[in-house]
Structure 1
Amino acid sequence: MWMEYNLRIPQDKRYEFAQPLDKLISGKREETLLKVENIIKNYIKSNLSINFYIVGDIVSKDFLANQFLKSFIKLCIIDEKTQRKKIYIKTENFEEIIELENPEGTIQKESWSLLKTIVESKKKTLLIITKGEEDLLVLPLILKLPLEENVKNFVFYGQPPITDARTIIPEGIVLVDVNIEIQNKVKKYINLMEKF
């Protein structure tokens, strides 16, 4: 099974991994936050318990600054930099702060059990990647989230604009509604990765 290995993206598969996993909410930061708010307000009407799991510094910072969205956050995974610039996230918003090394373009085998522990703890957690980057941790995170009745787990991450690919992808936020179809899609991505 994949959890026993470190994984990395093969060079010839980078294009596939750049595709949004689910719904891309395109636009500038302020626009996308408003769209997310409206989507979540519709879910609240259905009496579901809602949890947010966020991967990325800018999305984390924006959600934490929004009083409505902030209340649903269970986990933020950051590396404290964006476009090679240092970024500051307020740690007082979290009950637990954990550090992990995850080299660029990889998923370290330790991340699987750590994410499982974080999800099961139900504590509001900040996971800081001290060496490397957080981007690919969205994949094991999605697989570690339980599928429960009356609970909606959403994973959010930033989508940078991609203009040099076969298809142009605008910038925005990707909203992943975690369900069995998405988990199966993620398993296909994981199966494309090289073990090392």
Structure 2
Amino acid sequence: MTDKLKIPDDKRHLFSQPLGELISGSREKTIPMVESKIQKLEIEGEKFFFYIVGDIVAQDFLANKLLRTHIKLCIIDEKTQRKKINVTNTEFFEEVLTLKNPKGTISKESWDILQKIIFSDNRTLLKITHGEEDLLVLPLISLLPLNNERIDFVFYGQPPITDSKQNIPEGIVMVQVNKKVKKTVNQFLKFMDKIK
């Protein structure tokens, strides 16, 4: 799929559901919990890549010695809750790319650039120069191939949601890319409107 996509207003609530395991709590609480899970996987001899979507999660993973070593990609827009944020430790990346992705959409160009990054050997920082990165979780998971030699994890921040339809606490969503998750993501992509 390489169309430009937008969430229909009547389906917006569906897209706030976590796609994987929600590790709920503050940044100070969730990062040690993620670190503990990863240490267990390392002891079991697993190999993995991390794909990070969002500035706060990227900042926290880059600042953590263990978690940083597994990062393949960080996608940021240098904003959090509409405020400017400066992600540090960017010298870690071998490649820095930019992309325009208007708010509430998945741009046509994002499909091509994510495909290129996934199959590159470089650790990549993708900066969204116009718009936002939130929805890029979907094409990222859709494009990631299933891999027998390693586990691919996508991490993103979950803002707290308290409305009449649902109550979801804040935290980090940890998505292990597998057939089930890819099927769910592809269903979400089918819900979206194609736009010109």
Matched letter for residue 87 of structure 1: I
- Counterparts of 2:116 and 2:167, CA distance in 1: 37
Identity rate, percent: 56
Q: Distance in 1 between matches of 2:136 and 2:107?
A: 9
CA contact (8 A) 1:24 1:172 kept: yes
Aligned equivalent of 1:176: 175
Q: Could you say what the CA RMSD is over the residues aligned between the two structures, in angstroms?
A: 0.9
Partner-residue secondary structure (3-state), 2:119: helix
Partner of 1:81: 79
Structure 1 residue 50, shift from structure 2 partner? 1.1
Structure 1 SS opposite 2:141: helix
Decide whether aligned partners of structure 1 residues 159 and 14 sit closer, same or farther in structure 2, where only a CA change above 3 A counts.
same
Equivalent residue for 2:135? 136
Residue equivalent to 1:52:
50
What residue is the counterpart of 2:105 in the other structure? 106
Q: Once the 2 structures are TM-superposed, how far is the Cα of residue 46 of structure 1 from its aligned partner?
A: 2.3
Aligned partners of 2:164, 2:183: CA distance in 1, in Å?
Answer: 25
| Alpha-carbon distance between aligned partners in 2 of 1:107 and 1:79, rounded to the nearest angstrom | 14
Q: Which 5+ residue runs of structure 1 have no aligned equivalent?
A: none
Map Cα deviations across residues 68-122 of structure 1 (whole Å, 9 max, x no partner).
1111101000000111111111321110000000000000111111101001002
Is the contact between residue 47 and residue 150 of structure 1 (CA under 8 Å) also seen in structure 2? Answer: no
Matches within 5 A, 1:1-196: 2-3=1-2, 5-90=3-88, 91-196=90-195
Tell me the CA shift for residue 17 of structure 1.
Answer: 0.2
Q: Which runs of 4+ in 1 moved over 6 A?
A: none
> What TM-score results when the alignment is normalised by the length of structure 1?
0.97
Letter in 1 for 2:155: F
* Count of matched residue pairs: 194
> How far apart in 2 are the matches of 1:167 and 1:109?
31
On the 8 A contact 1:75/1:127 being kept in 2, the answer is yes
Alpha-carbon distance between aligned partners in 2 of 1:122 and 1:30, rounded to the nearest angstrom: 31
TM-score by length of 2: 0.97
Query: Separation in 2 of the partners of 1:160 and 1:74?
Result: 23
Partner Cα separation in structure 2 for residue 139 and residue 62 of structure 1: 22
Query: Structure 2 regions of 5+ residues with no counterpart?
Result: none
